[in-house]
Amino acid sequence: MLLHAKESLKKMYPVAKTYFGGLLPSHSFSVSDLVNPPRSSNIGSRYAIPFKVRSFTQCSLERCSADQEIVIAMGSNVGDRVSTFDRALQLMKSSGLTITRHANLYETAPAYVTDQSRFLNSAIRGTTRLRPHELLKKLKEIEKDIGRTSGIRYGPRPIDLDILLYGNSKINSETLIVPHERIHERPFVLAPLVDLLGASGEDGIETSWHSLSKCSGGFFELWNKLGGESIIGTETIKRVLPVGNRLVDWCERTLVMGVLNLTPDSFSDGGKFQQVEAAISQAKLLISEGADIIDIGAQSTRPFAKRLSPNEELERLVPVLDEITKIPEMEGKLLSTDTFYAEVASEAVKRGAHMINDVSGGLLDPKILKVAAELRVPYVAMHMRGDPSTMQSEQNLHYDDVCKEVASELYAQVREAELSGIPLWRIVLDPGIGFSKKSKHNLEVIMGLESIRREMGKMSIGASHVPILLGPSRKGFLGEICNRANPVERDAATVAAVTAGILNGANIVRVHNAGYGADAAKVCDALHKGRRLED
């Protein structure tokens, strides 16, 4: 059996390598790897167990004194689907499950019974000491509590929770089959499942899961047989970000985030929009020029900026926030609050902000992660070392491989966010242009966004697919390159940086001049569309 597993792994690894453009490192497998598989550094792998597929009989006789890693699929097409998922997550946590990873959120066409509303689908990975049928019973209780009743098979339902994988067990009973018998034919199941895996081949439990797929290339090959990434963004299946009262397909077109600084000391426009009237006028201008999101910041995060207290920040923010939510131009637009304080984020969302943009990714005020989880809004985690007063220190500017290190450090922030209760489908990543980076690092990051995604994919394929926000606007490195001391004169250079970023995988661009940014985005989107048509 071990020899068969070894041969399967040899066949499976090239599939994962191909999935990420051939950039995964070489890896040799041995029988000792299978008996005592290497552990990855991520939290989920702490529960990795030796590779040996167990029968249902053996599993059912055990008391499951050890934590078992599980994967549970989620589906809904009735009512407020996002809120239903949020409630299901909470009920699972209170029923003996520890959720360690989330897949992205997918809106999918109905299968089998096609005359019904579109579904939301996702999946979670976690641990439990519940035995398989005890777990099944808990999930059925959750479905009933949320409002599911008996109906036609594959028909409309407020919630559907299925056990896809349970430890390294094969289960075949009258009421439960694991792995789920229809995984191989369902894109809406395979896409979230693949999100929960890494492409490095170093996680022991994932190795056994791939062997259970009945495919030599594991779940990667099954997903590719159904179309893989080529079907994402079609009517069949789309990745979506729940924000405000809608679902945003961030791959459909690039979103433009307009900067509104309420500060006296921001590097580009400090002091211009401190008065409410001036701030509202600027918000209207940004919207008229094409901004989809207005990002309001009341604290400067330029190098060596003086840090305000939460109360001081709120004194600047609240008057503008209260007025901007009233203007008719905001209809259909989104509001973001640029803050690293939990208290400020909470108050801003209560007053109408739709998302939180944290330049520290939870490092300056860890409480913000719990707040974002409770508020159930998208959370932007940016890469920065230290804080604005220390981020440009010699130590924080040292990189051996900037893209690899940014990916690793951002992924650590993703793990903390997920364990704090923020599902992956609400996380946006920002590589932090201008923060803890020299000019050459900024350029490498802009051109290396796909490399950052691939590095993340080694640890979590789901994390490699989340939206990327890029903010090069008027930054100092553009001034150095173009010899433009005045930040306002860097808009043309910003367009060049934004264009390169979008063509390399950015989904949201943060700019001071929304008109230029929107034009750049439209051209890049047209180029992307033309490339897809050729493919």
In three state form, how does the secondary structure of 245-311 look? CEEECCCCCCEEEEEEECCCCCCCCCCCCCCHHHHHHHHHHHHHHCCCEEEEECCCCCCCCCCCCHH
| 157, 239, 458, 510: the active-site residue | 510
SS3 466: coil
How buried is residue 129: exposed, middle or buried, by Cβ count under 10 Å (0-12/13-18/19+)?
Answer: middle
510 in active site? yes
Q: What is the spatial distance between Cα 508 and Cα 501, in angstroms, rounded to a whole number? A: 10
Bond from prior residue into 179 cis (ω within 30 degrees of 0)? yes
Contact yes or no for 379/354 (Cβ under 8 A): no
Q: What is the spatial distance between Cα 495 and Cα 480, in angstroms, rounded to a whole number? A: 16
| DSSP tag of 156 | -
Question: Per residue in 166-195, is it b (16+ CB within 10 Å) or e — as a string?
Answer: bbbbbbeeeebebbbeebbebbbbbbbbbb
Report the relative pairing of strands 119-128 and 97-102 from DSSP bridges: antiparallel
Q: What is the spatial distance between Cα 465 and Cα 381, in angstroms, rounded to a whole number? A: 14
Alpha carbon dihedral 77, 355, 439, 394, in 10-degree steps, equals -110
Q: What is the spatial distance between Cα 318 and Cα 259, in angstroms, rounded to a whole number? A: 17
| 437, 475, 490, 532: the active-site residue | 475
Catalytically active residues, by annotation:
475, 510
